[in-house]
Amino acid sequence: MAIIESNGDRARHVSNRLDCLVLHDEGNSLRALEDAGIKRADALVCATDSDEVNMIICGIAESRYPGLLKVSCVRNGDYLSLSRHIGDGPAPEVLGVDFFVHPDVEASRAALSAIEHGAIGDVLSFAGADYELGSVEIAKDSALDGLPLRNYHDTVPGETLVTFVERDGGGILPDGRATLRRGDRVYIFAKGNDLRRAFELGGGETRPLNRIGIAGGGETGRLIAESLLGGGGVLSGIFRKKADSLFSFFGSLLKRSARSLTLIENDYALCKELAAQFPGALVLNEDIRDESFISEESLNNLDLIVTTTENQELNIITALYLKSRGVKRAIAIVKSDGYAEVARRLGVDVVISIKAVVVDAILSRLAGGGVTGIHHLGGGTVDIFEIELKAGMPVVGRPITDFRLPDGGLLMHVNRDGRSFIPRGDYVFMEKDRIVLITKNSSEKDLESFFQRSLP
């Protein structure tokens, strides 16, 4: 891997932290690209602060190395149409770019998925699976507080699997010797009602989200509002696709016919645009930091607040304050993983790190060799891979008992010919199986021996 960085201080910082080639140069220089080894590269990711520079770099690379996979980050709302491929194949041909990654789009998708699942915490859905991975924060004196995992199935009904536990700022891939305790954030893999029941046993409560507020009328807030109100656009299909799947167990909590939406924005001109674009929503030209405004508009009656302003500290504080005033659930958008961890510890129900969702999107675009999706948990200490098994992979035809990773790992799910199941001891890997596995991020080299590819 090689990194080109035009800022000298940043280049030195990256060079000191990462074991790779770092060049202090301009990325839109063909000479710099060739010095970085683009001729031998499999992929190029352009993530500068300029959308135009990113696309120009991809164009330069396309002119000399057309077989290279090219990913470009864009932030300008005018380029959203270039992201209409989201989740469904390649982008339109623009300067040779194979995939566009838009931070606002990725953050909005994550927020919409959280809303669909009742904003109970982190929930991941997987292609072809009628299981989901949901996070449960264990409350004091709940049924899961103090529960040894060897007794887990005596308490939690159905076919469920404890895959990962976040505890005291770290994370563990648990075995039967572990004991759950209050404050743990436990990731449970299960079908619909079973996951809901596990959440309730952990001390949580599911409730309808009919009255939704969005603080911030920027691109992220607009995209969320657009999809919630069914107004079309690049994310318009997310609820339709989810409604068609079998595993969306909180779908009943989000009834469009009963939904009301309130948009809060401090900029008057932007409020006029929002009112014109969303006639079905209540648009308030107010400062979300004004306590008297919160009381006057009865925002404490909201079922959910989503904070999407450009100020991540304000997003966290607003989410926490409105929860203290009676709002049932809160989602906060932040820019970094560090703030995400702080916000979760303070009590925000769902925290979406733009950095994390963008990295996952880029890695999923880069992944080859059957990998169709990559997700990070526990601040990046644990990775989840979605893989479609292909002929010639060493793992094909071998039993699950041969699948052993030194740092621990777990095969969570298999979809075979449309049938979805948690694999047992007699499972044998077969071509065209779609699998989901969780592993520590230090296990990439070990995974190569099973799947013959270099994982990101």
Whole-prediction pTM: 0.80
pLDDT band at 448 (very low <50, low <70, confident <90, very high): confident
pLDDT band at 178 (very low <50, low <70, confident <90, very high): confident
What residue ranges in 47-114 does DSSP mark as E strands?
69-73, 99-101
| Domains of the chain, CATH where assigned | 2-101 (3.40.50.720), 107-117+207-358 (3.40.50.720), 125-201 (3.30.70.1450), 367-451 (3.30.70.1450)
Q: Which of 229, 236, 294 is nearest to 261 (CA)?
A: 229
Pairing type for strands 350-353 and 329-334 reads: parallel
Least reliable range by pLDDT among 72-76, 233-237, 410-414: 233-237
Three-class SS of residue 160? Answer: coil
For residue 7, which phi and psi values (nearest 5 degrees)?
-85, 120
HEC letters along 282-306: EEEECCCCCHHHHHHCCHHHCCEEE
Tell me: pLDDT of 2 over 60: yes
Higher pLDDT, 442 or 246: 442
Tell me: pLDDT of 111 over 50: yes
- Percent of residues, the chain, with pLDDT higher than 90: 36
User: Which alpha helices (H) appear in 325-353, and where do they start and end?
Assistant: 337-346
Q: What is the pLDDT of residue 173?
A: 82
Helix pair angle (268-277, 219-228), 10° resolution: 20
Tell me: pLDDT of 81 over 60: yes
Tell me: pLDDT of 44 over 80: yes
The arithmetic mean of pLDDT across residues 297-303, rounded, is 84
pLDDT band at 209 (very low <50, low <70, confident <90, very high): confident
Tell me: pLDDT of 167 over 90: no
- Among 45-49, 162-166, 252-256, 298-302, top mean pLDDT goes to 45-49
The model's pLDDT over 230-243, given as tens digits with 9 standing for 90+, comes to 755 545 444 444 33
The arithmetic mean of pLDDT across residues 332-341, rounded, is 88
